[in-house]
Chains A and B, each alone.
Chain A
Amino acid sequence: MDDILTLSGVEKRYASGHVALHGVDLAIRRGEIFALLGPNGAGKTTLISIVCGIVTPSGGTITVDGHDAQRDYRAARAKIGLVPQELATDMFERVWDTVRFSRGLFGCPPDDAHLERVLRDLALWDKRGSRLAELSGGMKRRVLIAKALSHEPRILFLDEPTAGVDVGLRRDMWALVRRLRDQGVTIILTTHYIEEAEEMADRIGIITGGRIKLVEEKAKLLATLGRTELHLDLAEPLAAVPAGLADATLSDEGRRLSYVQREGSMPIPQVLRIVEGAGVTYTGIETRRSSLEDIFVDLIGEKA
């Protein structure tokens, strides 16, 4: 699979001396949804801002679909759409004017049919004559997406797209992102909501302290770093764990037997067979698969 965006050794040292990014290497595949996860201040927005040309990198190179983002910035930037985190809008502008402005700004001739499609897709068509100041926060967020899509970008950056957005709109936005991906747009999103990454992303990158800690297929990440917990409520308390289950633990005065299955460790059914083979009876069984959130907390927690 070819890469549409590559960063190599991208660094950012602010004038204050604060280092926001330490030599970031990252390759984004054409047509994927990539979620960049990280705590506040990890460097997510700095990374996006550098790729988009809003922040000047202190070092490193960025290639956008074969174009160097510094030397060949026109071609590179024309392919990128950015939905910023802040709801910054020209308050007095009307929706229709502001999307036309964005399209022109990115060097495209007017194409009202395209803009109409974008606005209809985002349920903004009826609001095209409204001033931005009159719109709700969720509507403004959609206007920002419409502006980012006005010049038909091949790469769309969504910086915290669903921050402060209600559940219904969040679902709509996810559906929109999938439609865009189906049209061949590569999507890079940053998010605090891990459930969002789990729901949407093909691949996940974790950034903390200005360093990329990990980039992995979501499914593989969940499989390799995920775990399944087994809890059994025992009919009679046990004094010690059954033979052959050294990894299991007892709690609640021996009434509860717990086991955590990780990659490569004994599968749950085998554990149950051993328990039953040892003549232990249980009255309740509970299993829980770890979410991306658990994995994230583990990773950030141990490496922060």
Chain B
Amino acid sequence: MNLHGVAAIYKFEMARTFRTLAQSLATPVISTSLYFIVFGAAIGSRLPPIEGVPYGAFIVPGLVLLSILMESVSNASFGIYLPKFAGTIGEILSAPLSAFELVLGYIGAAVTKSLMVAAVTLVVARLFVPYHIDHPVIALAFLLMIAVSFCLFGFLVGLVAKSFDQLQTVPLLILSPLGFLGGSFYTIDMLPEPWATIAMANPIVYLVSAFRWSFYGISDVSVGVSLAATAGFLALCSSILAWVFKTGWRLKA
């Protein structure tokens, strides 16, 4: 195991994060905080509680989760796209590193950053809306699992992308709408039919539901189903990635 190599990539990626602290930490935290102020503190106080949870607190888990999804995908995709774009990928491919070690370095850093964003966002949210976490350990474990799977997904996006434009497409055109319609602001049964049924095809619904359950014990779908869905997504991303490295697709000529 080339641990020095993994550490080198990890440190390189973290240095990039800290070099662009405004963009990588402040931006997601501020944009999420704006939601807390507008929907949580301002409008939320006029809305009735949902299943006994004040509206301001109700939206916290979903918004934190969305922020993590976006951050994980964009950070991990940038991490691998940049060396491809700059041409420095050659050095990384020529290093005595296995595919697993390479991914470990990049994903490790991307996950760390996602968790940092989550932690700061949660702390900031506390300034605007009072909330509590019933199952902090499960919440953390779930957050970690989500961060890992979506970082892997982002890594794949970065490998596939041929331009900066394509790199932005997945977060903005796919993840963003799925996220907003994923039940961060409402429970699925608040939707009229057929939208409630259609919403169940949105994978984000399962993630938001389980994460909210770890906060308040309320969920749209059973936690077991959510966990299984997340684990399935994680397995899918890992196997595609393993295939990419085995064949060298989009990575090696």
Interface set of A (CB-CB < 8 Å, partner B): 14, 49, 52-56, 73-78, 80, 82, 84, 86, 88-93, 97, 100-109, 147
Contact = CB atoms under 8 A, between A and B. Distances in A.
A134 B7 CA distance: 26
A82 B9 CA distance: 18
Contacts of A97: 15
A220 B95 CA distance: 37
A82 B94 contact: yes
30 contacts: A49-B90, A53-B94, A54-B90, A54-B94, A55-B253, A74-B2, A74-B96, A74-B98, A77-B95, A78-B96, A82-B94, A84-B87, A88-B86, A88-B87, A88-B90, A90-B83, A90-B86, A93-B15, A101-B11, A102-B8, A102-B91, A104-B5, A105-B4, A106-B4, A106-B96, A107-B2, A107-B4, A107-B95, A107-B96, A147-B91
A76 B96 CA distance: 8
Contacts of B253: 14, 49, 54-56
Interface of B: 2, 4-5, 7-9, 11-12, 15-16, 19, 83, 86-88, 90-98, 248, 252-253
A176 B92 CA distance: 25
Given A56-B248, A104-B4, A73 B96 contact: yes
Contacts of A54: 90, 93-94, 252-253
A102 to B, nearest CB: 7
A52 B8 CA distance: 19
Contact of B8 (A55, A91, A101): A101
A125 to B, nearest CB: 21
Contacts, number: 86
Contacts of B12: 90, 93, 101
A88 B88 contact: yes
B19 A105 contact: no
A105 B97 contact: yes
Contacts of A92: 16, 19
Contacts of B252: 54-56
A52 B94 contact: yes
- B4, B16, B90, B91 — which one has the most chain A CB atoms within 10 A of its CB? B91
For the residues of B in contact with A, the DSSP-based class is: helix
The residue in A86, A93, A105 that gathers the most chain B C-beta atoms within 10 A of its C-beta is A105
A105 B248 contact: no
Given A89-B86, A89-B88, 5 more contacts: A76-B96, A88-B86, A105-B95, A106-B95, A106-B96
A106 B15 contact: no
A56 B96 CA distance: 15
Contacts of B16: 92
B94 A104 contact: no
Given A54-B252, A56-B252, A91 B94 contact: no
Contacts of B4: 103-109
Contacts of A93: 12, 15
Contact of A91 (B86, B91, B98, B248): B86
Nearest to A80: B94
Contacts of B8: 100-105
A105 B9 contact: yes
Nearest to B12: A101
A83 to B, nearest CB: 10
B19 A86 contact: no
Contacts of A88: 86-88, 90
Nearest to A84: B90
Given A14-B253, A55-B253, A97-B15, A105 B86 contact: no
In the A-B complex, the 3 residue pairs with the closest CB atoms? A88-B87, A104-B8, A74-B96
Contacts of B11: 101, 104
B116 to A, nearest CB: 20
Nearest to B86: A88
B84 to A, nearest CB: 10
A49 B19 CA distance: 32
Given A101-B8, A107-B2, A77 B19 contact: no
A77 B253 CA distance: 18
Contact of B96 (A77, A89, A102): A77
Contact of B92 (A73, A105, A109): A105
Nearest to A100: B8
A209 to B, nearest CB: 18
Given A105-B8, A105-B9, A53 B93 contact: yes
A294 B93 CA distance: 38
B96 to A, nearest CB: 4
B164 to A, nearest CB: 15
A106 B88 contact: no
B67 to A, nearest CB: 25
Contacts of B98: 74
